[in-house]
Amino acid sequence: MTSVTSATAPLLDYDEVIATYEPVLGLEVHVELSTATKMFCGCANRFGGEPNTQVCPVCLGLPGSLPVLNGAAVESAIRIGLALNCDIAPWGRFARKNYFYPDQPKNYQISQYDEPIAVNGYLDVPLDDGTTWRIEIERAHMEEDTGKLTHLGSDTGRIAGATTSLADYNRSGVPLIEIVTKPIEGTGARAPEIARAYVTALRDLLRALDVSDVRMDQGSMRCDSNVSLKPIGRAEFGTRTETKNVNSLKSVEVAVHYEMRRQAAVLDAGGTVTQETRHFHEDGYTSPGRSKETAQDYRYFPEPDLEPVAPSAELVERLRQTIPELPWLSRKRIQDDWGISDEVMRDLVNIGALDLIAATVAEGVSSDQARAWWGNFLVQKANEKAVALEDLPITPAQVAAVVKLVDDGTLSNKLARQVVEGVLAGEGDPEQVMADRGLAMVRDESLIQAAIDEALAAQPDIVEKIRGGKVAAAGAIVGAVMKATKGQADAARVRELVLAACS
């Protein structure tokens, strides 16, 4: 790879940065909505299809095609606005943002400009130390995604040096919501942490709203991070840079941290920060992109092919009723209910077990039991199959049914695991698997007694030992009986019966 000068841009020590400067942040997050169809046409909105198979005249921008607004996307936009405590605009037009680029076959993007659907909100973001930080939201607006270009022949995958570029318009016209913060001030040294905490909270909130799959790795959630510095105590903001498409939570933190150190070095050397977009590199630095366009350059004007969006007060109220509790608050409540440590809680969140356990508990079993199944045996099965826990072919209701069968003595823990294996193998509900595989515990004591008599007769030497007081020797007989009953006897009861028979 050719060396990029910015990788070695002078950086000021972080402690020195915050001794002299105050950072101002602005975060722009794009989220692709997980609606069934695209924003302005009926094409499927699905990630990863064969290139150019989910396209039509509208999303290819062919002459004479006309957009039709997706009502489900508008409802998602309103719900996002409400969850962010925004005012919902009773009336607003789409706008055309004009520019030429091959990922945008119409040569304009339909967006919202000065009449966004949601304005003036906030989000109280939880920080690691248990406090919250209020991030003010300027607006959330609707727009359409562009197609995806793949550049071949360059080392970096970027257009510079590429010999061929491929265009895939499957993503063209996918509904997007852009959420823009007001300038975030007063964070001081905590700016990188707070930037990351905000994007994390936003992701969790959007996931709880079930409006997007918020996969930063797949680009369904993307963050642009604006950073500027000003000398401490000065009111006026400094010049900002905008680092584009930062694609993980950790990278949001790294990008802010890096830009603060880089800009401080520029300012300390008597230079000025150039207003520009910058690229983020996975190894933790940013490099210059294009110099920033202004709104003027885009020649925005109201979109003439779409009616204004005018949600009724009733619709907004109905949608307000669907806004869930903030996910970190419900998590805190769940953690208190279940009486588990922060660490256990974090593990359960990381493996995606929380909702599954809660749903299992809702079927009437204890949280400890539900947690044991999902957090141990099932997560292991998911890892073996390399699927997400929630994609295992077993439901919380089925897990609860197994737990109940163990509780009432129908299954031992070992048999229960075999039943669950059967469910995972597609053999039906737990009761079904148990019947088909003949896995229930043997409750008929005459059967157990017969097996004991047989084992005792086969091993007279052991019987002698037990009679002579070596009670531990009973283990061999219990083992033989368990084997004979295929593990379907209650081992403790077998032991009792063996000792009784030898007394």
Question: 25: which 2 tokens?
Answer: 């942040």
Under rule CB under 6 A, residue 328 binds ligand ADP: no
Q: Which is nearer to Mg ion, 3 or 294 (CB)?
A: 294
Under rule CB under 6 A, residue 375 binds ligand ADP: no
Under rule CB under 6 A, residue 416 binds ligand ADP: no
Under rule CB under 6 A, residue 28 binds ligand ADP: yes
- Cα–Cα nearest to 232, from 279, 269, 186: 186
Under rule CB under 5 A, residue 59 binds Zn ion: yes
Q: Which is nearer to ligand ADP, 183 or 364 (CB)?
A: 183
Q: Which is nearer to Mg ion, 138 or 490 (CB)?
A: 138
**Of the residues 11, 44, 56, 162, which one makes contact with Zn ion according to CB under 5 A:** 56
**Of the residues 17, 21, 22, 26, which one makes contact with ligand ADP according to CB under 6 A:** 26
Site residues for ligand ADP, 110-169, by CB under 6 A, read 138
Q: How far, rounded to the nearest angstrom, does the alpha carbon of residue 380 sit from its chain's CA centroid?
A: 20
The stretch among 53-61, 96-104, 265-273, 300-308 that binds Zn ion (CB under 5 A) is: 53-61
Distances (CA, A) of 250 to 197, 247, 254, 277: 10, 9, 6, 20
CB 369 within 8 A of CB 403: yes
Under rule CB under 6 A, residue 24 binds ligand ADP: yes
Binding mask 13-52 for Mg ion (x = CB under 5 A): ---------------x------------------------
Long-range contacts of 356-360 (CB under 8 A, 24+ apart): 356/389, 356/390, 356/396, 356/399, 357/396, 358/334, 359/396, 359/397, 360/396, 360/397, 360/399, 360/400, 360/403
Q: Which is nearer to ligand ADP, 24 or 451 (CB)?
A: 24
**Of the residues 41, 117, 223, 456, which one makes contact with Zn ion according to CB under 5 A:** 41
CB of 227 to Mg ion, least distance (A): 14
Site residues for Zn ion, 318-357, by CB under 5 A, read none
Q: Which is nearer to ligand ADP, 212 or 263 (CB)?
A: 263
Binding mask 159-198 for ligand ADP (x = CB under 6 A): ---------------------xxxx---------------
Under rule CB under 5 A, residue 39 binds Zn ion: no
Binding mask 212-251 for ligand ADP (x = CB under 6 A): --------------xxx--------x--x-x---------
CB of 268 to ligand ADP, least distance (A): 18
Distances (CA, A) of 454 to 439, 457, 474: 22, 5, 14
473 binds, among Mg ion, ligand ADP, Zn ion, none (CB under 5 to 8 A by kind): none
CB of 142 to Zn ion, least distance (A): 17
Using the structure block, give the residue that is written with the tokens 């097996």: 451
Q: Which is nearer to Zn ion, 20 or 53 (CB)?
A: 53
**Which of helix, strand or coil describes residue 231?**
strand
Sequence letter at residue 384: E
Question: 206: which 2 tokens?
Answer: 């959007």
Q: Based on DSSP, count helices (H) and strands (E) in the chain, helices before strands.
A: 17, 14
Sequence letter at residue 167: A
Long-range contacts of 125-131 (CB under 8 A, 24+ apart): 125/194, 125/197, 125/198, 125/201, 126/197, 126/201, 126/328, 127/190, 127/193, 127/194, 127/197, 128/193, 128/197
CB of 112 to ligand ADP, least distance (A): 12
Under rule CB under 5 A, residue 110 binds Zn ion: no
Q: What phi and psi, each to the nearest 5 degrees, are found at residue 19? A: -75, -25
CB of 187 to ligand ADP, least distance (A): 11
CA angle 301, 304, 307 (to 5 degrees): 115
Number of C-beta neighbours around residue 259 at 10 A = 28
Q: What phi and psi, each to the nearest 5 degrees, are found at residue 471? A: -60, -30
- Cα–Cα nearest to 321, from 13, 78, 49: 78
Q: How many residues bind Zn ion (CB under 5 A)?
A: 5
Q: Which is nearer to ligand ADP, 75 or 242 (CB)?
A: 242
Q: Which is nearer to Mg ion, 28 or 185 (CB)?
A: 28
56 binds, among ligand ADP, Zn ion, Mg ion, none (CB under 5 to 8 A by kind): Zn ion
Pairing mode of beta strands 132-144, 148-152: unpaired
Report the interface residues with Mg ion, using CB under 5 A.
Answer: 28
Report the interface residues with Zn ion, using CB under 5 A.
Answer: 41, 43, 56, 58-59
Report the interface residues with ligand ADP, using CB under 6 A.
Answer: 24-28, 138, 180-183, 226-228, 237, 240, 242
